[in-house]
């Protein structure tokens, strides 16, 4: 149980275009979803936290107008990288938890590798 999927698994786009990444919880309702970014051989950096039906909370230094997050349902969150540039090339990973009194465990998706040319 607790499976999280991401789509696409990898995407190559031209500079200036927008890219949408989907994160789905397949067998549970995800009250909260998280988006992380990981550069090569580095750690995961939390970008934002989203709760279903409300606006995402962005970490310091993450541009909310560039990384649009939508969590419209309990099983789907999307991250849109707007006007992507080569420096946005990275590995984007989402995770989900089902909330509750205090949900400690996050379930991670397989990641999406973005390459901006």
Partner 1 sequence: SQQGEEDPQALSIQEGENATMNCSYKTSINNLQWYRQNSGRGLVHLILIRSNEREKHSGRLRVTLDTSKKSSSLLITASRAADTASYFCATDGTNSGYSTLTFGKGTMLLVSP
Binding site for partner 1 (CB under 8 A): 4, 6, 31-32, 34, 36, 41-46, 49, 51, 91, 93, 95, 97, 99, 101-111, 113
* Residue number with CB closer to partner 1 (15 or 99): 99
Terminal-residue alpha carbon distance, the chain? 37
| Per-residue DSSP letter, 52 | T
* Residue number with CB closer to partner 1 (82 or 108): 108
* Residue number with CB closer to partner 1 (7 or 82): 7
For residue 86, the SS3 value is helix
Shortest Å distance, C-beta 16 to partner 1: 26
77: Cβ–Cβ under 8 A, 6 or more apart, which residues?
Answer: 22, 23, 30, 33, 35, 50, 69, 70, 71, 94, 96
Shortest Å distance, C-beta 107 to partner 1: 7
* Residue number with CB closer to partner 1 (6 or 77): 6
Other CB atoms closer than 10 Å to residue 20's CB: what's the count? Answer: 14
Shortest Å distance, C-beta 108 to partner 1: 4
């Amino acid at each position: 149980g607790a499976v999280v999927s991401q789509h696409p698994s990898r995407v190559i786009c031209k500079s200036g275009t927008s890219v949408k990444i989907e994160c789905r919880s397949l067998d549970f309702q995800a009250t909260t979803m998280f988006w992380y970014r990981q550069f090569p051989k580095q750690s995961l950096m939390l970008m934002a936290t989203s709760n279903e039906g409300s606006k995402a909370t962005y970490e310091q230094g993450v541009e909310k107008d560039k990384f649009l997050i939508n969590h419209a349902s309990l099983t789907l969150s999307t991250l849109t990288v707007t006007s992507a540039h080569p420096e946005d090339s990275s590995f984007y990973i989402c995770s989900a938890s089902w909330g509750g009194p205090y949900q400690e465990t996050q379930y991670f998706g397989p990641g999406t590798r973005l390459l901006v040319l």
